[in-house]
Amino acid sequence: MSKKVIVIGSGFAGLSAACHLAKAGYSVQLLEKNDCAGGRARKMEVQGYHFDMGPSWYWMPEVFEQFFEQFGKKVSDYYELKRLDPAYKIVFGEGEELAVPADMQALKELFESYEPGSSAKLQQFLDEAEYKYKVGMGEFVQKPSLSILEFADLRVVRALFKLQMFSSIATHVEKLFKHPHLRELLKFPVLFLGATPEETPAMYSLMNYADLALGTWFPMGGMYQIVAAMVSLAEELGVEILLNEEVLSIEVSGKQAKAAITKNGRFEADIIVAGADYHHVDQKLLAPEYRNYNERYWDKRVMAPSSLLFYLGVNKPLNNLLHHNLFFDEDFKLHAQEIYKTPKWPSKPLFYACLASKTDPSCAPEGHENLFLLVPVAPELEDTEATREHYYNLVMDRLEALTGQEIRSAVDYKLSYAHKDFKKDYYAYKGNAYGLANTLSQTAFLKPRLKNKKLNNFYYAGQLTTPGPGVPPSLISGEVVAREIIKSKG
């Protein structure tokens, strides 16, 4: 009889783990707290508008291809991918916009138009970033990071220096480029990694390679198409997915987790994989004697940002906006400091606007737009309706002024979402949106361990453990955990 695995949480990591374990012959049940699979990548359909509630950027397309290939499938079996061109634009102020082309030659010409001689430096930067990407994605993210000895290999040690683990991405970028717009373009991907560019290792220029070389894509129908594809695959492999089944506690006997307890019953297991919020599972679902860490440990972790989100239905077409739009018309460094250094609600926030309906009209009623606004903010802030409304008007004032149109009067659906909602829906620690910050002291084996130290059959997956936050890393996290379980003959 096959061993029984319970997976807690149906985010990307949980679904990935469930698929890999089912393929290996395990009997898998997946328990999801909410009424929709996907975790933070849930969808919302209201008044004819379709909103992706979480991730909206599709980067690293080969990670998705590699995931489905392991099951004899292709991405195209499930959804149509479209490369965005321009990939996105950055608005630096009135009349100051930088649209990032998909074509590399066009990108180099764009750099030259800002700073003569910078195209050669861009090529150098991307060549280094490609090396980091290939080593990082091919070596480091595939390691379970259970011990420093995994990295005690001369080739890996040499790579640590070539990967520029010990210098910052700010220093790396500023050595090569002088124009502030080019600097901000290259620093922007790390804004969501959990530290200022001055404190983020230069290794993470691999994100620039993913962005500028591999491209920005969109699954037609929305990002939820990825979740729907993984759910379809999981069910085809025999995974039983149970919605509205919140796990309340873990039953333990000796050094074995025996069952997941929900309000509806007891789900016995030979192995448990927690794809839900690590802190919540560790501190709330397990008895103190079985926890990997104490509350003091968690409180000292550096969290990636939270977000203030607005989901807006607009009953007219919007002008001067692409699918992805970054508004950097205020001080980039100040906003980063107000997230990471002196955590508070930002005085002059940067923000992001997404209109998936620009690429896929099916995301909104005909002649309408689905507008998604995001303000990166520090975790664990006081989150009130008055604060949300203040920032809504602040952002909309700038959005209307910079795009030259009235928008608020055309909004016929509006929902805000912030810290309280992340805590309620996902038990997100400190209301974070992106997991654990990718600082040097929280990299690889310095992250929370993917295996429980006191239980032989209890594992963790997702953005608070190896390899880190983001959709592709979460897919890989589920695979790494499944591989460890299979290897241990659990």
pLDDT digits (tens, 9 = 90+) for 150-174: 444 444 455 555 556 557 888 889 9
Q: Is residue 10 part of a domain?
A: yes
Q: Is residue 410 part of a domain?
A: no
pLDDT at 355 over 70: yes
Out of 123-132, 295-304, 392-401, give the one with best mean pLDDT: 392-401
* Whether residues 204 and 225 fall in one domain: no
Lowest mean pLDDT of 143-157, 249-263, 306-320, 329-343, name the range. 143-157
Q: What is the pLDDT of residue 470?
A: 87
Q: What is the pLDDT of residue 153?
A: 47
pLDDT tens for residues 171-206? 889 999 999 999 999 998 876 666 678 777 777 888
Q: Give phi and psi for 375, each to the nearest 5.
A: -115, 115
Domain boundary among 214, 249, 267: 214
- Return the biggest CA–CA distance within the chain: 68
Domains in the chain: how many in total?
Answer: 2
Q: Is residue 419 part of a domain?
A: no
* Whether residues 197 and 266 fall in one domain: no
- Tally the C-alpha atoms within 13 A of residue 125's C-alpha that lie toward its C-beta: 30
Q: What is the pLDDT of residue 155?
A: 47
pLDDT at 291 over 60: yes
Q: Is 351 exposed, middle or buried (0-12, 13-18, 19+ CB in 10 A)?
A: buried
pLDDT tens for residues 33-87? 999 999 999 999 999 999 999 999 999 999 999 999 999 999 999 999 999 999 9
* Whether residues 177 and 242 fall in one domain: no
Average pLDDT over residues 435-462: 86
Domain boundary among 186, 214, 242: 214
Domain boundary among 190, 214, 238: 214
Confidence of residue 9 (pLDDT cuts 50, 70, 90): very high
Q: What is the mean pLDDT of the chain?
A: 92
Which residue range forms the structural domain that includes residue 272? 4-39+59-72+221-301+436-487
Q: Is residue 373 part of a domain?
A: no
